[in-house]
Amino acid sequence: MINVTKSFLPNQSEYNAILKRSWDRAWLTNRGVLVKELEQKIKDKFNITNIIATTNGTLPLQIAIKALQLKGEIITTPFSYIATASSIVWESCTPVFADIEADSFNINPLEIEAKITEKTSAIIATHVFGNPCNVEAIQSIADKYNLKVIYDAAHTFGVSYKGKSIFEFGDVSTCSFHATKIFHTGEGGALFANNDELHETLYSHHNFGHDGPEKFKGLGLNAKMSELQAAMGLAVFPYFEKIKEQRESLYKMYFNALDNGKLQFQKILENSEYNYAYFPLVFESESQLEKVKTALNSQQIFPRRYFYPSLNTIEYLKGEPMPVSESIAKRILCLPLYYDLAKEDVSRIIKIVKANL
């Protein structure tokens, strides 16, 4: 069986050796040495100002909204995972959708500006499939209207724009280290903020609001990464470049074989270094997608309709029609892509796709 993705697992002995450091201390959570070491490795590798490792990739979005004291309306994308919009609702704000660009699949800055009202407090944009948004245009709009910017950077570990880590843009960026991601801690995530004062607020929010062991500076919850998660991250981390290189090779196999002028590929932002997190393919019609998907499933190959459906069509998020997002969502399929996917299997997937167009 070939799934859309598969977790990279280092040799178990490597994980156990790192985990033993926590085991010997009987220190399993509350920011032990492994969490701090993982944070430092990420900061050093990508030249990042601040990082807070978290227990998953959704709580960082909720914490960012809380820390920035956002109220009223938040403009966001309809083409993302549900957590992007549900976090807005969870924090008692109202998501206002702005349609996406047909080529990048990212939120369209022109659509953002058209949605701004006196109730707008922020923009939450997703770097879809790890493809950087037009961060310069978005920041220009935010500056013009005095809005905060949060980037849902769940897919962007290792991505840079103009030589700068994508996590360094916006007021806050969030990432997911879920088991399915290009870099993972089993379950996990992170918060990034350049501003030191904001970083401290985010830190407090992720640790019950503590200000030292016996004082509290405000509201908080528990979003701390455990030592068990950090051990997995430290075991996976040395393989990141190798993982990315292998995924790039498979990505290019798909691209070169399927570039027939009829199928649409995601346009990656110029001047960015991509991480090959996904291989999304847009068909001419939903019926064509279903035909290909059915053929692949019959051979125990399971791509994913990701992201589907367009978030503005979900009942509790019901928004205005988003014609571009809805069209892409109905026709997009992410093909299997992971570290140890055999090239022979990629060739087989390509053959099935071509035979059913």
Q: What is the 3-state secondary structure (H, E, C) of 149-190?
A: EEEECCCCCCCEECCEEHHHCCCEEEEECCCCCCCCCCCCEE
What does the pLDDT read at residue 331? 98
Provide block-wise average pLDDT over 10 residues at a time, the chain (357 residues).
97 96 94 97 97 98 98 98 98 98 98 97 98 98 98 98 98 98 98 97 94 84 97 98 98 96 96 98 98 98 98 94 98 98 98 97
CATH hierarchy code of domain 2-238? 3.40.640.10
CA nearest neighbour of 101 among 122, 125, 117, 66: 125
Distance CA 30, CA 26 (A): 12
Q: Is 207 exposed, middle or buried (0-12, 13-18, 19+ CB in 10 A)?
A: middle
Going across the sheet that includes 164-165, the strands are 164-165, 160-161, 272-273
- Phi/psi zone of residue 119: left (φ > 0), alpha (ψ -120 to 50 degrees), beta? alpha
What does the pLDDT read at residue 345? 98
What does the pLDDT read at residue 209? 87
CA nearest neighbour of 121 among 149, 91, 163, 158: 149
Distance CA 236, CA 339 (A): 12
What does the pLDDT read at residue 275? 98
Under 8 Å between Cβ of 328 and 306 = no
Q: What is the pTM of this model?
A: 0.97
Q: Where are the domains of the chain?
A: 2-238, 240-355
pLDDT digits (tens, 9 = 90+) for 158-189: 999 999 999 999 999 999 999 999 999 999 99
What does the pLDDT read at residue 160? 98
What's at 120, amino acid-wise? T
Please state, in angstroms and as integers, the Cα–Cα distance from residue 145 to each residue in 78, 114, 164, 177, 195, following that order: 22, 12, 25, 33, 20
Under 8 Å between Cβ of 171 and 195 = yes
pLDDT digits (tens, 9 = 90+) for 181-213: 999 999 999 999 999 999 999 999 999 988 878
What does the pLDDT read at residue 318? 85
Rounded to 5°, the CA angle 218-42-267 comes to: 100
What does the pLDDT read at residue 319? 84
> Would you call the peptide bond into 279 cis, given omega within 30 degrees of 0 as the criterion?
no
Distance CA 229, CA 218 (A): 27
CATH hierarchy code of domain 240-355? 3.90.1150.10
Fold equal for 2-238 and 240-355:
no
